[in-house]
Each structure stands twice: as structure tokens, then as C-alpha cells.
Structure 1
Amino acid sequence: MSLLRSDLWCGVFVRRHNDLGHMCVVSRRGDSIAGQVFIEVDHLDGTLSLYTPAPIASRENNAAGLVFQCRFHHAEPQKVRERIAREAEFDPDLWVLSLDLRGDDLGVDLVK
């Protein structure tokens, strides 16, 4: 099964979280067809978490959609932003979604 286009997936993610009352924006727009998606979560307590695409080898066999892994959990904001900047230098097609969320439930599939 093929994956959704990055621009459509990001648009749905942003819309869903904004409808739930969370502030969510596209911080960096990447390739509309196949850009990788990073999710930066501001926990509103001075910390950020960063979710990145999970390696294909760690996904379940039936996972057809985007699957994420938590790269940084409640880390210093500078550390997360430096990682995003390094990734953007390497992959200019990268998408970054910024979400304000007090909890940890993004509503996406995470690797175990």
C-alpha cells in the first residue's frame, strides 16, 4: 500500500490538532510528494520533544502509514532545534510540524 503525499498528511495532521484546540503549524515546508516529516512538540513547560520517521526495519509488517519514533523526549529547546537544523542541511525536502501539547499523545503510530 502506498503512503499518502507529505503535503496531504501534514495538512490533515495540522487541521486535526487545531480542531482539538492544540496550536499546530507547519514550521518548514518540504517536498510535497515524499518529504520526510518531523514533529516538534512544545510541552509548554520549557521542554520540547522531537518525533522523527521510524526506520523501516523497526515497523510492523502491516504499517502502511507514517510511523514515528521519539528522538528527544522533554529535552532542552536548543538541542531539538539544532537537530532539526542539521537534518534540514542534509535533507532540504524535510517537513517540520510544530505542535503545542501538554500531554504526550500525538495521535500517530509510534514504534515500540
Structure 2
Amino acid sequence: MAGALRSDIWCMAFVRRHNDLGNMCVVAKRGDPIAGQVFIEVDHLDGTRSLYTPAPVVSRGNTAGLVFQRRFSRVEPDAVRQRIARESDFDPDLWVLSVDLRGDDLGIDVIKDQTP
């Protein structure tokens, strides 16, 4: 994709921005630096977690850059861990970012909520 930002640069910017905002954020798994998919795990600090995954290409419209979908919303941490483990087995180039955030605004482009 011409003009797309490298995964490593996008991830480092995301981590730095959240840490600057006071949200603990780390790279939990490094993937392919150029084109690795990015998953974002959110610990809501209340015993629940959410998971954001890349949105399907057909859902993105004309939006440039990374666009996400909320795969899980405030579920048991095990559900998120299992999904990440399954995806990591399938795609070893996957990035996983982990952020502690009480709210829901990650400051990313998210398609209409698809959570069950």
C-alpha cells in the first residue's frame, strides 16, 4: 500500500502517545516492522479487557492508515488472551500493544462497533 506508515513506527508512536497521556502502554509482542498487523489489548483496570484488531479492508472505505474494529468489549481477560494466542500462532508477524485505560477512547480510527 503506497504511502502506508510502517507498523513499527505506528506502534512506537501509539505507545509513546499513551505513555505521555499517563496510560501505561507497552509492546507486548513485536511483529514484522514493515507490514505486521497490529492488535491492541486494553486493560480497563476493572477486571475486564477489550481487544481491537485490524478492520476488514471492505469496511475501511477511503480511510488512509490503520483502521480497527473492536473484537471484544470489556470481557474476561482470558478471552482476549486466547484470541491473541490463536492469532499469533497463525500470524507470527503480528504486533500486540497493551494499554491500561479506564475509558474507551484510544484515539484510533474504529469502524462501527461489531462486538457481540
The TM-score with structure 2 as length reference comes to 0.94
Per the alignment, residue 39 of structure 1 pairs with 40
Determine helix, strand or coil for the equivalent of 2:80.
Answer: helix
Tell me how far apart the structure 2 counterparts of residues 41 and 3 of structure 1 sit (CA, whole Å): 24
Q: Give the aligned CA root-mean-square deviation in angstroms.
A: 0.6
Identity of aligned residues (%): 75
In the alignment, which residue of structure 2 is the partner of 1:90?
90
SS of 1:103 mapped into structure 2: coil
Q: CA deviation at 1:71?
A: 0.1
Partner of 1:16: 17
Structure 1 partner of 2:67: 67
In the aligned structure 1, how far is the partner of 2:88 from the partner of 2:76? Answer: 19
Deviations 1:17-48 (A, max 9, x none): 00000000000000000000000000000000
1:42-90: CA deviation from partner (whole Å, max 9, x where unpaired): 00000000000000100122x1110000000001000100000000000
Q: SS state of the match for residue 40, structure 1?
A: strand
SS in 2 for 1:102: coil
Q: TM-score normalized by structure 1? A: 0.97
Separation in 1, partners of 2:75, 2:93: 25
The number of aligned residues is 111
Q: 2-side partners of 1:59 and 1:78: how far apart?
A: 28
Tell me, which stretches of 5 or more residues in structure 1 are unaligned?
Answer: none
TM-aligned CA deviation for residue 3 of structure 1: 1.2
After superposition, the C-alpha distances for 1:92-112 in whole angstroms (9 at most, x for unaligned) are: 000000000000000000012
In the aligned structure 2, how far is the partner of 1:87 from the partner of 1:2?
26
